[in-house]
Amino acid sequence: MEFYTKDGKVLKDISGLIKELKSMSYNSFNHHVNQEKNDFANWIRDIIKEEKLANSISKSHSKKEILEILEIFQKRGCHVHETIIIGAGIAGITAAIYAARKRMDFLLISSDFGGQLNVMGDIENYPGFKHTDMLQMDKNLKEQLEYNNIKIQYENVEKIDKDKSFFKIKTNKSVHESKTLIIATGARARKLGIKGEDEFARKGLTYCAVCDGPLFSNQDVAIIGGGNAALEAADFMMRIAKKIYILNIKKELIANQVLMERITKRKVMVINNAETVEIYGEGMLTGLKYKHNNEIKDLKVQGIVVEIGRIPNSEVLKGFLKTDDSGHIKVDKHCKASKAGAFAAGDCTDLQEYQFVIAAGHGATALLEAAKYLQRR
């Protein structure tokens, strides 16, 4: 495809296109850009060989928008996306779906797919699903991404910076720039690091009582931990499990008084100074071993809930965005982070409710707020 200037010369560069667009009449512009085609996007793709820029132009239907995109490209020497979403767990995928449906120019960057979904078992508390599991949810999400023509760029983010106007994301493969940024890198459960832990994950061992607790109905369950999260798990499991053991590595529980009073001794047995050293079983877990007063003891259980804390995947953001003492990104109720144009969603934030449905809500909120921010620029 070729374009010609008013004096009959072949258009060869972005600066020439910008000049022609500025003087182009409304009727002439609409001849080139309408619901059926975008000649400027095709020209950029064919002549300039900038696929990202062409894709962005193809989503724009006003001269003002196209001029802004081209002028930024000319000034920066690269294409600047409207937003970049980092993380492809539930929060990041939700943000990407909303971005695609708003026809935004965005990238979805992640080192993996699914996030915490990859360590979950059965899922029975997600609206619209009476029962599903990791494999089915994984399949559904991938089909939804394909339906919305969303592609994940599998890259590891190494550094994030921002100048006065734009974010710069350096990965192991490239450098990307954007006007807004959505961090949805999630969190990972803090593991025990003992024999049998990885072997029996999702085979009786879980890191989420609310997610998987109902699977242990009328069974004996061990909860490993001694803080609020562990006692909250015990409180939840009291209506489900036959017997609950809390194995606390410290001398006493460290939790708020209300939770401690709520845990009844009739159903919950607290074992302090108990260091879990091994998890065992045949196919499914059948018990654990723990060290108590320098003696190795055995405990037969059918379920284990590990609640010794979560680690937010926010290491790359250290010093860039404000975090709490544990590394969770500080956000307000609109998912806004400490820098203008930066948003965070899901388990990496200090909202700290580790549920798929909440992460999805955060992802939608972050994207909608990012879109509002762009409109106000």
**Is 49 exposed, middle or buried (CB count within 10 Å of its CB: 0-12, 13-18, 19+)?**
exposed
The model carries a pTM of 0.78
* pLDDT tens-digit map of 274-295: 999 999 999 999 999 999 999 9
Count H helices, E strands: the chain?
A: 11, 19
- Is 82's pLDDT higher than 90? yes
Question: 106-110 and 80-86: which strand pairing?
Answer: parallel
Side chain identity, residue 283: G
Residue with tokens 């290491």: 315
- CA-closest candidate to residue 174, choices 155, 187, 197, 198: 155
Alpha helix ranges (H) inside the chain: 14-23, 26-32, 39-43, 51-58, 63-76, 90-101, 134-147, 209-212, 228-237, 257-262, 356-376
Name the residue with higher pLDDT: 189 or 157. 157
Q: How confident is the model at residue 116 (pLDDT cuts 50, 70, 90)?
A: confident
CB contact at 8 A, 342 and 366 = no
Residue 325 has φ and ψ, to the nearest 5°, of -65, -25
Kindly report the length of the chain.
377
